[in-house]
């Protein structure tokens, strides 16, 4: 088994809660270094997760012979300069999303990746969520010709099908709680629409084979907005975000309908489908490893497990534990390592992330102006 010597650059909340623990748990990874502009943060991360050393200057790590690849978990103020330097040194990079804050920087990264041939993977980890992968499998079956079973009430026996029956309708609902956010979300000009919604714009593109042609947006870029994407085959994707929800309510719901099959994914723990007679109507998925106290699976269990935990925490005089779910972070990184070993595809290559970021920028424009914005090949096609 190959060992990948990894350095994590940027040791903030996301790195400490996700990337560093995943490095420690992965038997293929040796944590060579932690790096942060704040020396106390870098050193604290080194001690907590057992890295060999800590640094404050990423430039000292790029050419270091004892490092094979990087995880970049900084804010978007550090993307292109680091990624291109790492690629020039022959070091692959797993970078957090968004890929870059502007179109010019995105293309600098793409040009360097193409010139060096060194891979970059963008952390659109929902592509590696087991529940999302199940949704994609089912939708691919429908597009591949799997027939839908007749409904209980069937009044279309002698009626020719209409084109709209084969357009995909996709809903992505994100129920968020602004009280749980870090302050920088409110200070960034692009708000959460750019920093976080790229996850769901990516899913809209990844799950829809057609090309986007228009986006309509309403709301505030800080949160409480709705985006509607129209595709060139008639398909539509609606992305609805709320910052006024409760943190403990299931955050992510996806519903897709095409060819008289409906598939729903709820909070990465349950997938439901109706229309494919040879597939299970309901599948459930395990909780995250850090929530072993939750015993029952599925959406009904989600609420009962939270109620039981709140009651237990009150009796024990402590804060209730967070019920965490698996959104694909560890699997996404592991798939990238497999790709680096020549045994699988890159789960999110840099070109696909460019299209996502470009659409995110156009979506910002749509929300700010209140007018529909055209999407063309210059947005989804990378030359």
- Is 4-118 a CATH 3.40.50.720 domain? yes
Q: Is 162 exposed, middle or buried (0-12, 13-18, 19+ CB in 10 A)?
A: exposed
- The span from the CA of 323 to the CA of 298, in Å, is 12
- Cα-flanking dihedrals φ and ψ of residue 187, to 5°? -90, -25
Query: Which is more confident, 125 or 158?
Result: 125
Answer yes or no: are the C-beta atoms of 230 and 210 closer than 8 Å: no
The CATH 3.30.360.10 domain(s) of the chain lie at 127-285+325-344+356-380
DSSP per-residue string spanning 10-47:
--SHHIIIIIHHHHHH-TTEEEEEEE-SSHHHHHHHHH
Q: What is the per-residue pLDDT across 317-356, written as a single tens digit (0 to 9) for each?
A: 999 999 999 999 999 999 999 999 999 999 999 999 999 9
pLDDT confidence band for 208 (50 / 70 / 90)? very high
Q: Is 240 exposed, middle or buried (0-12, 13-18, 19+ CB in 10 A)?
A: middle
pLDDT confidence band for 383 (50 / 70 / 90)? confident
pTM of this structure = 0.94
The CATH number of domain 127-285+325-344+356-380, selected from 3.30.2290.10, 3.30.2010.20, 3.30.360.10, 3.30.1490.20: 3.30.360.10
**Look-up of token digits 């179109």:** 103
Instruction: Give the pairing of strands 93-95 and 69-72.
Output: parallel
- The span from the CA of 86 to the CA of 112, in Å, is 10
Query: Which residues are registered as beta bridge partners of 6?
Result: 31, 69
The CATH 3.40.50.720 domain(s) of the chain lie at 4-118
**Up-side HSE of residue 122: CA atoms within 13 Å toward CB?**
25
Query: What contacts 291, CB < 8 A, 6 or more positions away?
Result: 321, 322, 323, 324, 325
* Whether residue 314 has pLDDT greater than 90: yes
278 CB neighbour count, 10 Å cutoff = 8
Give the DSSP letter of residue 285: -
- Mean pLDDT, the chain, integer: 94
């Amino acid at each position: 088994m190959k060992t990948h010597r990894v350095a994590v650059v940027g040791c903030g909340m996301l790195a400490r809660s996700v990337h560093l623990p995943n490095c420690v748990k992965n038997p293929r990874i040796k944590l060579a270094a932690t790096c942060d502009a704040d020396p106390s943060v870098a050193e604290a991360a080194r001690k907590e997760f057992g890295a060999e050393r800590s640094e404050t200057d990423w430039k000292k790590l790029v050419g270091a012979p004892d490092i094979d690849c990087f995880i970049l978990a900084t804010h978007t103020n550090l993307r292109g300069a680091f990624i291109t330097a790492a690629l020039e040194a022959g070091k692959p990079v797993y970078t957090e999303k968004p890929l870059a804050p502007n179109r010019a920087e995105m293309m600098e990264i793409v040009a360097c990746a193409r010139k060096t041939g060194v891979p970059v993977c963008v952390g659109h980890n929902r592509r590696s969520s087991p529940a999302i992968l199940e949704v994609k499998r089912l939708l691919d079956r429908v597009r591949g010709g799997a027939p839908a079973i007749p409904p209980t009430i069937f009044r279309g026996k002698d009626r020719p099908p209409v084109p709209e029956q084969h357009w995909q309708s996709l809903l992505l609902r994100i129920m968020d709680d602004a009280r749980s956010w870090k302050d920088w979300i409110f200070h960034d000009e692009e708000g959460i629409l750019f920093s976080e919604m790229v996850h769901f714009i990516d899913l809209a593109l990844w799950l829809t084979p057609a090309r986007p042609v228009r986006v309509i947006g309403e709301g505030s870029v800080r949160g409480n907005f709705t985006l509607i994407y129209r595709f060139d085959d008639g398909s539509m994707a609606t992305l609805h975000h709320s910052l006024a929800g409760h943190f403990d309510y299931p955050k992510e719901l996806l519903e897709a309908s095409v060819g008289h099959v409906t598939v729903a994914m709820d909070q990465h723990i349950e997938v439901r489908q109706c229309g494919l007679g040879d597939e299970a109507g309901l599948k459930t998925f395990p909780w995250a490893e850090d929530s072993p106290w939750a015993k029952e699976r599925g959406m009904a269990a989600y609420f009962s497990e939270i109620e039981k935990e709140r009651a237990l925490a009150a009796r024990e005089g402590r804060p209730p534990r967070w019920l965490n779910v698996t959104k694909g972070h560890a699997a996404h990184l592991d798939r990238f390592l497999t790709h680096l070993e020549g045994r699988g595809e890159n789960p999110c290559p840099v070109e696909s992330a460019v299209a996502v970021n470009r659409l995110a920028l156009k979506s910002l424009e749509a929300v700010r102006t209140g007018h529909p914005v055209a999407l063309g090949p210059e947005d989804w096609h990378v030359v």
